[in-house]
């Protein structure tokens, strides 16, 4: 049972990664930015897993698992931060955060 070889997975992964990058750079809602970050991490995961398959090596899978946990952690902190921001009645728009600049 052979499906597409690893390069196809990788291409998907690359596209997904680029979508994530686009999302982070283009979107202004911090929530969607966070979601885009998740997409980037998942793209990486996909790459890791397909490489694990390529090499027949579990390290990649384990790495991917750890990444999931890390992604979850980032989400937790990110959401906490967004909640704190919302509590301060600031507009949820990353473009509005530019007191610090120059």
Partner 1 sequence: MGDILVWAIWILAAGACLGSGIAVVSFGNPFFSALALIGNLASLAVLFLLASAEFLAAAQVLVYAGAVMVMFLFVIAYLGGRADTPFEGGPTWVSAGAVVAATALLVEIVVVIGLKAGDALSQEADIERSFGSPAEIGRLFLTDHLLAFEITSIVLLVAAIGGVILGTKTRDEDELDRLGESA
Partner 2 sequence: MIDTPTVDWLALSPTLALLGAAGVALLAAVIGPEWFRRAFAGFVAFAGFVTAGVLAGVLLERSPGSERLLNESMTRDRWGALAAIVIAGAGALSVLVSWGEKRRDHSGEYYALLAAAGGGMVFFVGASNLMTLFLGLEWFSIALYIMCALDTHRATSLEAGLKYLIVGSFGSGILLFGSALVYGATGELGFASIAAAGANEDYLLLAGLAMIIAGLGFKVSAAPFHMWTPDVYQGAPTSVTAFMSAATKVAALVLAMRILTVAFPEQEHLWTVAIAVIAIVSLAVGNIAALVQRDLKRLLAYSSVSHAGFMLIAVAANSDLGGKALLYYLIPYSAMSVGSFAVVAARERELGVPVTLDNFGGFLWERPFLGASMWVFLLGFMGMPLTGGLIGKFYVFSAAYRAGWWWLVLAGVIATAISLYYYLRVALAMWTRPEPRLQPAIAGGSPPRDPLLVSAVFLSLVVTVGSFFFVGPLIDLAENAAASLPF
Partner 3 sequence: MTQGAWLCLLAPLGGAWAITVMGDSISRRTAAWISTISVFTAFAGALVSFVALLRKGAEERETMTTAWTWLSTGSFDVGLSLLIDPLSVTMMLIVSGVGGLIVLYSVGYMEGDPEERRYFAYMSFFVFSMLLLVQAGNFLILLVGWGLVGLASYLLIGFWHNRPEAVAAAKKAFIMNAFGDATMALAFFVLIWQTGTLEFAPAFAGAADLSSTALNLVALGLLGGAVAKSAQIPLHTWLPDAMEGPTPVSALIHAATMVTAGVYLIVRAHPIFELAPSIQDLAAGLGAITLLVAGFVALVQTDIKRVIAYSTMSQIGYMFLAVGLGAYSNGMFHLMTHAFFKALLFMAAGLVIHHLAGEQDIRKMGGVRRIMPRTYIAFLIGSLALVGIPPLSGFFSKDSILAAALASGGYGQVLFAFGLVGALLTGLYTFRLFFIVFRGEPSPLVEEHAHGHHGEGPWTMTVPVAVLTLLAVIGGWIQIAGLWHYFGDWLHDVAEPLVEPTVTQDYIASALAVGLGLAGMAIAWIFYAAPRRRPLPRLAAARDILEHKFYFDELYDAVFYKPAVWISAQGKRFVEDPLIGGSITGVTSGARRAGGALGEAQTGYLRTYALAIAGAVAVLIVVFVAVQ
Binding site for partner 3 (CB under 8 A): 21, 24-26, 28, 94-95, 97-102
Please check whether residue 51 is in contact with residue 6, taking contact to mean a CB–CB distance below 8 angstroms: yes
Widest distance between CA atoms in the chain: 58
CA dihedral 47, 48, 53, 59 (to 10 degrees): 170
Q: Which stretches of the chain bind partner 2, using CB under 8 A? A: 6, 10, 13, 17, 20-21, 24, 30, 33-34, 37, 40-41, 43-44, 47-48, 50-51, 54-55, 57, 59-60, 62-63, 66-67, 70, 73-74, 77-78, 80-82, 84-85, 87-88, 90, 94, 97-102
């Amino acid at each position: 049972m052979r499906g597409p070889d690893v390069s196809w997975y990788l291409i998907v992964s690359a596209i997904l990664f680029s979508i994530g990058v686009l999302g982070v750079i283009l979107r202004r809602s911090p929530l969607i930015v966070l979601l885009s970050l998740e997409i980037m991490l998942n793209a990486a995961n996909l790459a890791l897993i397909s490489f694990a398959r390529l090499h027949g090596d579990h390290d990649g899978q384990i790495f991917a698992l750890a990444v999931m946990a890390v992604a979850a952690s980032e989400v937790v902190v990110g959401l906490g931060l967004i909640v704190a921001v919302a509590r301060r009645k600031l507009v949820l728009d990353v473009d509005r955060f530019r007191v610090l600049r120059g």
